[in-house]
Structure 1
Amino acid sequence: MQDSNDWRYDGVYAVAAAGLITGYDNGLFGVDNPLTTGQLITILWRYAEPEAASSTDVSSTLNHTYLVDVADGQYYTAAVNWAFENGVVHGMETPRGYVLGPDQEVSTERAMTILANYLTKDQPAMTDQEVDGYLLKCSDGAAVSEWARPSIAWALKSRMITGYETADGREIRPWENIARGRFAVILNNGINTGVLPMN
């Protein structure tokens, strides 16, 4: 990440300096690599509980949730325990039990839902009219899944996301999987607007 003209440059260096995204052991940030659910939750845990995140021995942490695909001793295990306990994630029901998909790529609408579950828990809910108003500003607002509509509307209102500018208007692309570099920009948007205040 050496090109200062890259649209992700400021976001990448800001979140790296804040310790939210630490990069890989090989010294690379992985700007084009897909963000996974486990990575997102770990990033949010670092923001919410920096002392615990820096002092926890993740290699010996056990899964304290009923999510059947969350393994013990993984980099994300302690973060998932925290997220589950605080209602940030709930898991998805499947025939084999509730799953999280920690290694799965995370879509825009799911990522914004996870962020909103934490960042808006003490805020009044947006009205249906407000939600519709923000989504209608984007040409693909109707494509947002029903369960994600309030979270995407919040993300637009708070300017965590601004959408892609196209000839047909702004697009959310709610099902698009988020790359790590783009998520860094989203987090930096939150820092700059005060949605993610840094101590």
Structure 2
Amino acid sequence: MSGKFPFTDVKEGRYYTEAVAWAYENGVVLGMTDTLFAPEAPVTREQLVTFLYRYAKLTGADLTAGGSLEAYPDAGRISTYAAEAFAWAVEKKLVDGMGGQLVPKATATRAQVATILLRYSEALG
């Protein structure tokens, strides 16, 4: 890891250490705080779409966020940092809600992650 790696809870030699370092150095993840990554914590739906949005930016994908969140009554619950990413994910049809809601703070299930990754692959290759 480079000297700039800030996360004190990501220890050398763990199976995810290199991946977290790469994702941080490339702007895909920022951490829970300036010094904590929380590698064992579950990921929320808004965190997941934000990771994918930042990764898409890294790869030069079209980040036009023309998707409207108005149809979702819980759109106001999306964290500020994730709002643009969620609009983009809706536009690209990576997410389409759960029972008419986006549920941004909910933990992303393994099935949801697999589905969103498939949709990402189909939409952005």
Short-chain TM bin: 0.7 to 0.9
Q: Within the alignment, does 1:156 sit opposite 2:96 as a pair?
A: no
Matching residue of 2:112: 182
Does residue 1:111 correspond to 2:16, yes or no?
no
TM-score (norm 1): 0.56
Q: Which of 154, 164, 173 is the aligned partner of 2:103?
A: 173
SS at match of 1:99: coil
Q: Within 5 Å, which residues of 2 pair with 1:1-199? A: 63-64=1-2, 65-93=5-33, 98-121=35-58, 122=60, 126=64, 130=66, 134-165=68-99, 170-193=100-123, 195=124, 197=125
- Deviating beyond 6 angstroms after TM superposition, the runs of 4 or more aligned structure 1 residues are none
AA matched with 2:32: M
* Aligned pairs, number: 122
Question: Where does the alignment leave 5 or more consecutive residues of structure 2 unmatched?
Answer: none
Q: Does structure 2 retain, via aligned residues, the 8 Å contact 1:71–1:77?
A: yes
Q: Residues 69-104 of structure 1: CA distance to partner in whole angstroms, max 9, x if unpaired?
A: 1111111111011111111112233xxx51111100
Q: CA deviation at 1:188?
A: 1.0
Asked which structure has the greater CA Rg, the reply is 1
1:192: how far off? 2.4
For structure 1, which runs of at least 5 residues remain unmatched after alignment? 1-62
Higher share in strand: 1
Give SS of 2:68's match: helix
Asked if 1 retains the 8 angstrom alpha-carbon contact of 2:53 and 2:63, the reply is no
Q: Give me the TM-score of the superposition, normalised by structure 2.
A: 0.86
Percent of matched pairs sharing the same residue: 30
